[in-house]
Each structure stands twice: as C-alpha cells, then as structure tokens.
Chains A and B, each alone.
Chain A
C-alpha cells in the first residue's frame, strides 16, 4: 500500500474511475489546465483530454443541472464545486432536480458533487462553510464525509458507482495535513460508520476533520474513549451509533458546522429517542455557534470547535 495525503487519495479515486469507466467525466471551474483550485485534478487533462476533464463556465447551477442531464442519458459525471460554499448557487438543481427525480418517476440520477468544505485557514464567510446538513434535509441525496485518505478514496469510488446523487464533502483542512495508507486499485468503502478508536467509558461521535480533533482531544484523557467516525451522513449508520451508546452510556457529538439542525443534532435526536434508557448522562454537543465563519484567526478559532472544547466536554461528562 502507498502512503498518500487525503487529497492524493481523492485524486487517485478519480483517476481510477476515469481509467476504468468510460462513462465517467469530471467538470468544474478551473479543473482542466489549472488542475483545480486545490490541484485535485492536476495532470488529468493531459491523461484524459479536454472532453473528459471539462473546464466549465462560472455557473454552479448549470454545473449541477448539466450533470443531471448527462447522467440520465448514461454518463457518470463528477462535478467539482470550487468551494463547498458555492453549492448555494447550484442548490436548486441539486435539491429539486437531482434529488426528486427517482422518487417522481423512477429515473436514477448518478451524479457526484464534490464539495471542498470546512474552515481553519482564514477562508472567511464564503470559503469555510460546512453545509452538509442542508443536503441531509433534502430527500434523495446521499451525503458522505470521509476523514482518512483510505476512506476518501473508497467512499469517492462508491459514490461514483452509486446510482444516486451523492454529495461528497472533502475537508480542505485535511487535504495535505492527513496522510495514510491507501490500497492500490479500485475499492469501495461502505457507507457506514467506523470505529476510529475503541473504548467503553464514553463515545465521541464526529465526521470529517472533527474526527481528528476528537482523537486529539481524547488521546491523553484518563479514560477509555470510543471515537465513532460517521463517514456517511446519508445514509446514517443508526445501528452503529446506538450500539456504541449502549456500550458507553455517555456521548459527545461534534460538528464543525453551525449548531442548529446540524448533522449532530439529528444524531442527538436519534439517541434521545432510541437509547434514552442506556444513557448515563446528558447528550453533549460541540459545534460552531450560529454565526458566519469569520476571517481573522482569533475570531475563527473562537468559533470552530477546538480540541480543548472537546476535551473539556468529555471531562465534564466523564465526571457526571
């Protein structure tokens, strides 16, 4: 197995898909000659040509809408939003066209929309969002959020092969910061949760970059903490969530996203409804407050969930 960054693993999945499936093409703003704003498609146009690595006009609604059109006539488009934030301009096509088509008349829409998301590097209010919950609330769209290079490659491969619209949240702050072993060739990672660290005293539930924050926060705690990496938000692995809570009886849920109606709110509601009897303390949530993600480092750090906040929440709950 090769060691790759999270970004290299995503590139690798795309490259494998383009090599092995002629229906696959990638498109987005500046993905061709420039290789994408983050260089995920660097070198692609040389290998696969301009017909399959398409530089599009600056038109997010049309990026998603044309992907839907290409998909229903047999293609497997993979779109890149330059930043996840810009999906707001393509929201209608994703939610109303892509998400509802199979339910309405049984027509599958196999598209993948890659969303470089998350903050931590002074991107400001329009380059730092974590908008995954928007799509959890819209029927018909799968939402994936890997935290490791191995899962990033396997989940992106699974997304491209899936017959449904899939929103693929790739955390920008993990792109070059996280490295790991990645199997060669094509493989699919299941759209289920994963135990990132096994324990019996308390469960921390997270996804994306917050998995790494959770692991950092609990590493030196004097307790046996389980860290559950959701990996997939739609479908949500309810069984694994409830099994972990049944084992530990205490749960901290972490979102990088704004707190209200975040993915973690749904997880908390499921636990409250289905595992109330197993709890030995209140469900604790750590998330960004409901503010735009600010630009200046001290402001941004005050907003994004930190290792310290997660650690404090774990300590409080362990003492409960």
Chain B
C-alpha cells in the first residue's frame, strides 16, 4: 500500500501512479465514479440552496473527500452495517438512500430521512443498515464496535464500518473503541479520514504521533492509503473486511485527504494556506477516477449529465415537499413497539453479485 505523508505540504501528485491489480470490473469503476459525482453534485446543489436560505442552520460537505466514503462503503456487503460521518454522504448514496430524501433532509422537510428532526448529514436510514452519527466525535466508533461485538457473539460473517476524523483521534472514545476492538478481536473497520484540519486546528496541534501508528499498540494493523484514490480506498477496506470476516480482528485505515471547503458553509478557511488548496486540487479524486474510466472508453460527459439531471429533478421534488407538522414535534421520543430489525443496504460491488 502506498504511504502518503499525512502532513500538509506534501508533494503534489503530478501524474497518477500506476494502478495496482484490482478486483474491480469496468462497471464497478464507473459506479464508483458515478457515486462520487452524485455526492459532489448533491452537495453543490445543497450549498446553493443554503445560500438561498433554503437550508436552515449550517451546511457541512465533503468536497474533495468523496473517495473516502464511496470507496469504503463500496467494499461492504449488504448485511454489513455502517456509521458514516458528516463528510461521508457517499456512503449513504452507495447504500441506496435516494437523492431526493437527502436534499429534503438538508432542508428540514418532512420527506427527509429524519423528517426534520435532525439536519445536514446527521442521518442514517435504518432500512439500508446505516446508523446516523451524533456530533460528539468519535462516539460512533464505540457504536460500531458494539455492532461488531454482536456479530461475533452470534457467529455471523458480518462487519461494522465507521469513519472518524483527525480531530476525533484526540477524544477518549477513539481510545476506548480501538482498545476494546483490539482486546475482543472484533470484526470492525475504522477509517480515519485525515483531511488535515479539525475545524481550523491543523494536525500539528492535534497529535504528536500519527494516529495510524496507534493501531499497532492496540494489537491490530494500521495502514495509510491515498484517500483521494477511490480504488485504493476500496482495496484497503476490502482487505480489512476480509480480515474481519476471517476472525482476525479490526483494522485502522488512515485515508489521507484534504477538506477543500470550510468546516461548514460559514467558514472562510482563512487559516488554510492557499497553496495547499492548489496542491490538493491537482489530486481531485473525481478527476482522477474520470481519467481511468475515460481511458476505458466510457462517456464521462454523459455520466455527469445523467447525475446532474438526477440531482436537478430531486431538488425540485425536495423543494416541493412539505415541511414537518409542528404538532408532531414532541412525538416519537420513546419507542412503543418491538424494535424493527435494520434493513440490508445496496452493495453494488460486482464481487458481491
């Protein structure tokens, strides 16, 4: 696996490195690109809607990080379970959440995934086996560890996958989850989405030792991967999933990437050196996958057009959807019936077919 410097200011990638042998068939490579294009188009549209006052609160996106959530989710089977973060919209899309419901979610509409009860990417659709995140990071690492514990207890060949950011590595739940998963050798995959900044705090103020190195001391491997190469992320997470299913325990994967937008829509990123953005723009994960797919003869322009059309239609439908009924604001705090099991998600990788 190719290691990248996790620190800002690393060398720009002028040319794409040669691809490693892959488990991906041509249709997989197109689907990876399509999912990333969809994520970016949805977030671009949502940002415009935010500026028009149609998205309440603030707006968080994963611009430039699309390969991390798409590549990782693509390696998961239908019965695996996921806890994505706020820059991981791609994971929801891979699992099968409809574009219209995502845009309605951002706008607080009744047809959004949380029906207006929570905003932006704070959602998870139980029907596709995804648990929504909370803002306290990385709480979901403990939750994913617990899901893996249940899988192991029941002897099921399934995996839990979650993501965390570079900032979240400083909180105790990072340690508690990693240690617990290591002690019990659980089938869980942690993806550390290293996007260089936690809000405005750079890596140098976050940790003295690269957190991928911590995996070893918890008793399992930590690997670093180019987080802007969707196929490399897929391969790393696929390998981690194989390990987990085989009973060999967890893996920490550091996906090195760059947050190309502010922490949220209000953030002018004055703390980011402009040359860093220029450098990372040359590594754009979508352009990179487009070059691969175009080289295989696929009409990338047509793919883009189809995605844009889908997002435009979904935005129209979401804008026409009703706001939630205020009379329902106090309902549903408690469950009143036997819990429904989580549904299985879409698992589009050809290897699962």
Interface residues of A (CB under 8 A from B): 25, 51-52, 56-57, 59, 61-62, 64-75, 77, 92-93, 96-97, 100-110, 139-140, 142, 163-164
Q: Which residues 96-127 of B sit at the A interface, judged by CB distance below 8 A?
A: 113-114, 117-118, 122-126
Decide if A69 touches B147 in the complex (CB within 8 Å). yes
Known contacts A73-B147, A105-B113, A110-B339; A51/B179 CB under 8 A? no
Lowest 8 A-B CB distances belong to which pairs?
A69-B146, A65-B142, A66-B146, A108-B339, A108-B335, A62-B176, A163-B335, A69-B147
Interface residues of B (CB under 8 A from A): 81, 113-114, 117-118, 122-126, 131-132, 134-136, 139-151, 153, 160, 172-173, 176-177, 179-180, 183, 332-342
User: Which residues of A are found within 8 Å of B334, using beta-carbon distances?
Assistant: 102, 140, 142, 164
Bound complex: CA A140 to CA B81 (Å): 23
Decide if A25 touches B153 in the complex (CB within 8 Å). yes
A110 nearest in chain B by CB position: B339
Bound complex: CA A254 to CA B272 (Å): 57
A163 nearest in chain B by CB position: B335
Question: Which of A62, A67, A102, A139 is the most central at the interface, judged by chain B CB atoms within 10 Å of its CB?
Answer: A62
Give 20 pairs: A residue, B residue, CB < 8 Å, sorted on A.
Answer: A25-B153, A59-B176, A61-B172, A62-B142, A65-B145, A69-B142, A69-B144, A70-B150, A71-B339, A72-B143, A73-B150, A93-B142, A96-B134, A97-B139, A105-B117, A105-B118, A107-B339, A107-B342, A139-B333, A163-B337
Whole-angstrom distance between the Cβ of B145 and the nearest chain A Cβ = 5
Decide if B176 touches A103 in the complex (CB within 8 Å). no
Question: Which of A66, A74, A96, A104 is the most central at the interface, judged by chain B CB atoms within 10 Å of its CB?
Answer: A66
User: Which residues of B are found within 8 Å of A106, using beta-carbon distances?
Assistant: 126, 332
Question: Which of A69, A77, A140, A142 is the most central at the interface, judged by chain B CB atoms within 10 Å of its CB?
Answer: A69
Bound complex: CA A59 to CA B140 (Å): 15
Known contacts A93-B139, A105-B114; A70/B149 CB under 8 A? yes
B329 nearest in chain A by CB position: A103
Whole-angstrom distance between the Cβ of B196 and the nearest chain A Cβ = 26
User: Which residues of A are found within 8 Å of B114, using beta-carbon distances?
Assistant: 104-105
Whole-angstrom distance between the Cβ of A37 and the nearest chain B Cβ = 20
Known contacts A65-B177, A73-B81; A103/B143 CB under 8 A? no
B145 nearest in chain A by CB position: A66
User: Which residues of A are found within 8 Å of B144, using beta-carbon distances?
Assistant: 69
Decide if B139 touches A72 in the complex (CB within 8 Å). no
Decide if A65 touches B146 in the complex (CB within 8 Å). yes
A77 nearest in chain B by CB position: B146
User: Which residues of A are found within 8 Å of B148, using beta-carbon distances?
Assistant: 69
Whole-angstrom distance between the Cβ of B266 and the nearest chain A Cβ = 23
B150 nearest in chain A by CB position: A70
Bound complex: CA A77 to CA B147 (Å): 11
Question: Which of A59, A100, A102 is the most central at the interface, judged by chain B CB atoms within 10 Å of its CB?
Answer: A59
Decide if B123 touches A105 in the complex (CB within 8 Å). yes
Known contacts A96-B134, A100-B134, A105-B132; A69/B176 CB under 8 A? no
Decide if B333 touches A72 in the complex (CB within 8 Å). no
Decide if A103 touches B146 in the complex (CB within 8 Å). no
Whole-angstrom distance between the Cβ of A249 and the nearest chain B Cβ = 32
Decide if A104 touches B118 in the complex (CB within 8 Å). yes
User: Which residues of A are found within 8 Å of B151, using beta-carbon distances?
Assistant: 73
Q: Which of A66, A70, A103, A163 contacts B117 (CB 8 A)?
A: A103
